Amino acid sequence: MKKLLFSMLLSIPITSAILFAQCPPPSTPDLGDNCSLAPLLCGNIDGYCGTLATNNVQQPFPGCPSWVLNNDGWLKFVAGSTAMTIQVTPSNCSGGNFSGMQGGIYGSCISQIMDLQCMCTLLPFQLNANNFVVGQEYYLVLDGCAGDVCDFEIDLLAGSTLPIMPGQISGDTLVCPGAVSHYTVPSNPSTTFTWSLTPASAGNLVGTNPNDSISVAWTTAGEAQLCVSTANPSACPDAVVCVTVHSALLPETVETHEVCENECATCAGVEFCNPTPPGGTPVLLTSWQGCDSVVICHINTIGPIVSNLGQIALCGPNAVSICGEIFSQSGSYALPCTNWQGCDSTVSFELAILEPVALIASTGNTLACGIHSILLDGTGSSTNPFQNGLTQYQWTGPGIVGADDQPSVEVNQPGQYCLTVTHILNGVSCSDMACVAVGVDNSEPAITWTGMDDLWNIPLLWDLGYVPEFCNHVIVPNGFPTVPIGYEGVGKTLHVNLGAQLEVPVGAMLDIH
């Protein structure tokens, strides 16, 4: 620690004196007149200050053969570390020849020399050693040379003179009656640890006492103080550290187990193979601390589970996986499964695979003379086989006559006609399509002549460079005044003079007179 130093140079022939501010209230205990009367300082020596008393009893200065102690004072302290550096600052010396102070540290009164300041000095001086034994008592002597009475202050620059304090207690602070808990403090070979429990009825100390550890067998509920004190080798009071421990009965707990039929469950270490009553079954359990507690066990049996998945509709070909099995055929199924709780259950379902087939009859699909329209037949298409299932038909093409959403449709024009058949079930819609081409027979119609002799009853020769109108009439347009009629076998040609356009219905007979 830093000190404010005031100095005054006095014009004295031989020496000089250093003046300091007077020690604010002097420390206790006061110095003793000799080693055997040295009082014990159980606190921190750092900051200790005082004034040397006047005893003027000259005695040897052990370790300093050329020096004596004239106005000495003694103080006993406890080593808290193996190495220490103590600085002594003299001030306000008077009454002698202003020689200042000297001092030393001894062990075992004066038989062990730790360090000495033999020469008198008015300046601060240091006493240090590194062979202190922690917990043992040592002696500091301060002397006013030639009868000087000086004020002084001590600074502990390194080390400790505090008595040994026990460390914090480690162990359970929440316990229960019946528990046995272990408690420890940091070990120190030079210290004796003694344990105590307040109130004593809270439990019993188990183990060697004194020791740096102890066990407590807790017997009652409530709050208790577990303390450990250090018996230092010195006469300083024991240092005590305590911890508050709360002891309480363990609360009642509840365990619930869900088990499958014909299976067992373990609750609080007890096996149950049957359901417990509605209020549960109590089980007395000893905890890891050794305390008794009550566990209420509830064992519930999971009954048989039957799950109906209902109707599953799919567009075929298709398959569905249920409980690890693959199903690809329509039908009703029931199979065993393991549910999310690990118990056996029965799963039932109906699989409906929709596979519509559109089919148009392949005969009678040609328009011809005298056949103005035909009926395309889609009644061979499949219908929805499932209850509540719907079947829809839809025709497309260039010459549909009437409704286009029935199994069959009437058409009057050539071209491609398609039928889409749709099966609907539970919101699932599946379709199939078939198409057919409607053609037309536009071959030339045959007309025969009648009215003359048999030699002239021959086919009309259509070599005039025109094509008959399809199906309705053979038209010989105006402008062809004569129609050559070949006479096979005779080599003659008959010319018919037409006064106007001639229309001959297909299949009609042309009578020439």
- Architecture of the domain defined by 35-158: Sandwich (2.60)
> Distance between CA atoms of 339 and 193, rounded to whole angstroms?
62
Evaluate if residue 448 carries a pLDDT over 90.
no
How many other C-beta atoms are found inside a 10 Å radius of the C-beta of residue 388?
10
- Higher pLDDT: 443 or 414? It is 414
Beta-carbon-side half-sphere exposure of residue 288 (alpha carbons within 13 Å): 1
How many other C-beta atoms are found inside a 10 Å radius of the C-beta of residue 174?
11
- Architecture of the domain defined by 366-441: Sandwich (2.60)
> Distance between CA atoms of 404 and 419, rounded to whole angstroms?
9
Residue 337 — pLDDT band, cuts 50, 70, 90? confident
- Picking from 376, 488, 356, the residue whose alpha carbon sits closest to that of residue 435 is 376
- Residues 228-238, mean pLDDT to the nearest whole number: 74
| The pLDDT of residue 27 | 80
- The answer to whether 142 and 27 are in contact (CB under 8 A) is no
Residue with tokens 């450990």: 228
366-441 and 174-247 share a CATH fold: yes
Evaluate if residue 478 carries a pLDDT over 60.
no
Write down the pTM of the prediction. Answer: 0.41
| The pLDDT of residue 440 | 82
Q: 174-247: what fold?
A: Immunoglobulin-like (2.60.40)
- The answer to whether 197 and 183 are in contact (CB under 8 A) is no
What tens digit of pLDDT does each residue of 189-201 get?
Answer: 667 788 999 999 9
- Picking from 330, 346, 307, the residue whose alpha carbon sits closest to that of residue 425 is 330
User: What are the extents of the domains in the chain?
Assistant: 35-158, 174-247, 253-302, 305-350, 366-441, 448-511
Evaluate if residue 437 carries a pLDDT over 50.
yes
Torsion angles phi and psi, residue 181, rounded to 5: -115, 150
Evaluate if residue 466 carries a pLDDT over 70.
no
- Higher pLDDT: 461 or 221? It is 221
Residue 72 — pLDDT band, cuts 50, 70, 90? very high
- pLDDT, the chain, mean: 81
> Distance between CA atoms of 301 and 319, rounded to whole angstroms?
35
> Distance between CA atoms of 231 and 192, rounded to whole angstroms?
5
